[in-house]
Amino acid sequence: MLRPDYPIRTERLTLRPFADGDYDDLHLMTGDPEVVRYLYWEVHTPQETRAALERRKGQAALTEEGQWLTLAMQAEPEGQPRVVGQVVLRWASVAHRQGELGFTLNPAFQGRGYAREAAEAMLRLGFEDLGLHRIYAACDTRNTASWGLLTRLGMRREAHFVEDEIFKGEYGDQYIYAMLDREWRSRQTSST
């Protein structure tokens, strides 16, 4: 069970559940074809983004297997609070203590290290607060920005699945990256 104490603060970000006022910033991501290019869903209509916001508002805790913790990354890039991205942690297995990590940034705020900062905080929540043994992430092999970030986080490339599923109408390849709790701990020790 994980019920984080909000807001979670990192060096430049506030991580918190989505709220009613986040529609415009959320739609800048869900409505952008470049953002969804390697995601399972297609560009959202305004109505679909409103429904997505409602779902996200309810994803603030992990109480059972299969749930998603979905947090807004709030920053103040021009002195005003903006939701620049979202970061997710899925409780993939209770018995095996497994979690899945994911992240999305508004393109205007990519290339600043925000996703890395938020993902580190999610790894910390998963390993230190939820007690996970392994956290993994899956990405399209063409998504160099995604697997570059997973590499910078210190996750290992565990698998390259070749044409294991039909993605947006054609067979695609996926990488699986992962980190174990002991690898997380040794990274924390070596960085202090």
Across the beta sheet with 14-17, the strand order is 8-9, 14-17, 68-75, 82-93, 98-105, 134-140, 170-180, 156-167
CB crowding 75-96: b at 16 or more within 10 Å, else e: beeeeeebbbbbbbbbbbeeee
Q: Which residues pair with 140 in a beta bridge?
A: 174
Count of residues that interact with ligand COA, criterion CB under 6 A: 21
Region near ligand COA per CB under 6 A, out of 59-67, 114-122, 160-168, 173-181: 114-122
Sign of CA dihedral 139, 141, 142, 147: positive
Q: Which residues pair with 17 in a beta bridge?
A: 71
Rule CB under 6 A: say whether 51 interacts with ligand COA: no
Q: Which one among 61, 145, 168, 185 touches ligand COA, defined by CB under 6 A?
A: 145
Rule CB under 6 A: say whether 103 interacts with ligand COA: yes
Rule CB under 6 A: say whether 35 interacts with ligand COA: yes
Beta-carbon-side half-sphere exposure of residue 61 (alpha carbons within 13 Å): 8
CB of 99 to ligand COA, least distance (A): 15
Q: Which one among 10, 14, 67, 143 touches ligand COA, defined by CB under 6 A?
A: 143
Round to whole Å and give the CA distance between 115 and 38. 16
55 contacts 110 by C-beta, under 8 angstroms = no
Region near ligand COA per CB under 6 A, out of 32-40, 43-51, 76-84, 91-99: 32-40
Cβ proximity to ligand COA: between 23 and 38 the closer is 38
Cβ proximity to ligand COA: between 63 and 191 the closer is 191
Residue number, nearest CB to ligand COA: 113
Residues that bind ligand COA (CB under 6 A): 35, 38-39, 102-105, 110-116, 139, 143, 145-146, 148-149, 152
